[in-house]
């Protein structure tokens, strides 16, 4: 099998199947590139919670495009990343808490906003996302995710840690949503 045909099947997979592998890829980029850069620039706090967490952007972009279909793949991607980078040799329960909490925080808050407040944060007046509301929701889901991380790491819940997680998620989402919008616009112009 040649290289072109072996990558062709990968490109034909639905995006919701690629959510987990993309999450793992961006987690590796985060761990190998972004975190060391942040550590060098802002100190050891970057090792606890990044101020630019790109994998959060993958969660939002894939959920934006695929909704609930992306969640199982994101949970598996989260399991792989939690085990690979942070919790090797740990019991399965903390790893599951981190992965499920991370993958479900935004979708659950999105559903609450839609069903109880009749706000679809992915559909603005012009068809684009409500940026401020969406990023606020991402920040809130980052706080929930930070709480799950605190539980998994058996550490006390620190407001500073929760704020760093929320900030990292918001900035990571902002960067990847802008990149996704640029790519989608470019693809539409080429079509």
| Predicted local confidence at residue 1, as pLDDT | 45
Q: What is the pLDDT of residues 127-139, one digit of tens each?
A: 556 677 777 778 8
Q: What is the pLDDT of residues 32-62, one digit of tens each?
A: 998 889 888 887 766 667 888 888 888 888 8
Locate tokens 């112009």: which residue? 189
- In the chain, % of residues over pLDDT 70: 80
The confidence band for 86, taking pLDDT boundaries of 50, 70 and 90, is low
Spatial distance between the Cα atoms of 124 and 154, rounded to a whole number of angstroms: 40
**Structural contact between residues 78 and 99, judged by C-beta atoms closer than 8 angstroms:** yes
**Structural contact between residues 176 and 60, judged by C-beta atoms closer than 8 angstroms:** yes
Half-sphere exposure of 169 (CA within 13 A, CB side): 26
Buried b (16+ CB within 10 A) or exposed e, 10-37: eeeeeebebbbbbbbebbeebbeebbee
The confidence band for 88, taking pLDDT boundaries of 50, 70 and 90, is low
Average pLDDT rounded to a whole number, residues 171-183: 83
For the whole model, what pTM was predicted? 0.77
Mean pLDDT, all residues of the chain: 78
Question: From the CB of residue 163, how many other CB atoms can be counted at a distance below 10 Å?
Answer: 15
| Predicted local confidence at residue 191, as pLDDT | 66
């Amino acid at each position: 099998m040649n290289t072109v045909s072996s990558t062709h099947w990968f490109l034909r997979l639905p995006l919701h199947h690629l959510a987990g592998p993309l999450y793992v890829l961006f987690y590796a980029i985060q761990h190998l590139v972004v975190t060391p850069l942040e550590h060098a620039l802002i100190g050891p706090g970057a090792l606890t919670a990044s101020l630019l967490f790109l994998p959060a952007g993958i969660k939002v972009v894939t959920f934006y495009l695929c909704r609930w279909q992306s969640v199982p793949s994101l949970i598996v991607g989260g399991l792989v990343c939690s085990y690979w980078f942070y919790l090797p040799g740990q019991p399965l329960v903390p790893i599951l808490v981190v992965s499920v909490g991370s993958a479900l925080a935004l979708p659950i808050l999105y559903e609450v906003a839609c069903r109880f407040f009749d706000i679809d944060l992915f559909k603005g007046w012009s068809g684009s996302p409500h940026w401020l509301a969406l990023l606020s929701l991402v920040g809130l889901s980052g706080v929930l995710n930070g709480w799950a991380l605190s539980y998994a790491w058996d550490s006390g819940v620190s407001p500073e840690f929760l704020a760093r997680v929320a900030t990292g998620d918001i900035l990571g989402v902002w960067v990847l949503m802008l990149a996704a919008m640029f790519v989608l616009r470019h693809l539409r112009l080429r079509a």
